[in-house]
Structure 1
Amino acid sequence: MASRTYYHVKPTSSGWEGKKVGASRASVTGSTKAEVRDKTIAIAKNNRPSSVKIHKKDGSFEEERTYNGDPYPPSG
């Protein structure tokens, strides 16, 4: 299986960014969290296996969404 690609949706001084871990530039930028989150998730779904880690306005961790090959899928 290919290694997982990680993305982070984080606040910036001018809005929000969705950025691939290790990249020098953001993949997505925007003024609202919802807009950037949705676009980053679309990118992640096209680059499976992947994970999107979503942060709160204060920068703390909020949630993680994985696509294809979840290492800990819930049962049932």
Structure 2
Amino acid sequence: MVPNGGTWQLRREQTPLSNYTYKSDAVEAGRQIAKANQPSQLIIHKADGTIETEYTYGGDPFPPGG
């Protein structure tokens, strides 16, 4: 989920899915989509484009590799 010219845009990889006026609406929609398409990850950005938080659904290995 990224800022997009005054709106919030949900993307799947780099493909735009939808735009929302309110960030809270975009977060809720993004969480629903991510939960329905596990394993998945929702990355929420701040208005300045930096990452605010990440949610991972299903299949998240612990400890992480690397």
User: How far apart, in 2, do the equivalents of 1:57 and 1:11 lie?
Assistant: 6
The residue number in structure 2 matching 1:33 is 23
| 1:34, distance to aligned residue in structure 2 (A) | 0.7
Give the paired residue count: 63
The residue number in structure 1 matching 2:47 is 57
RMSD of equivalent CA atoms: 1.4
Where does structure 1 differ by over 6 angstroms across 4 or more consecutive aligned residues?
none
User: How far apart, in 1, do the equivalents of 2:57 and 2:24 lie?
Assistant: 18
| 1:28, distance to aligned residue in structure 2 (A) | 2.3
Alignment identity in percent? 35
Task: Give the one of 12, 27, 31 matched to 1:20.
Answer: 12
| 1:41, distance to aligned residue in structure 2 (A) | 1.1
| 1:72, distance to aligned residue in structure 2 (A) | 3.2
User: How far apart, in 2, do the equivalents of 1:66 and 1:12 lie?
Assistant: 23
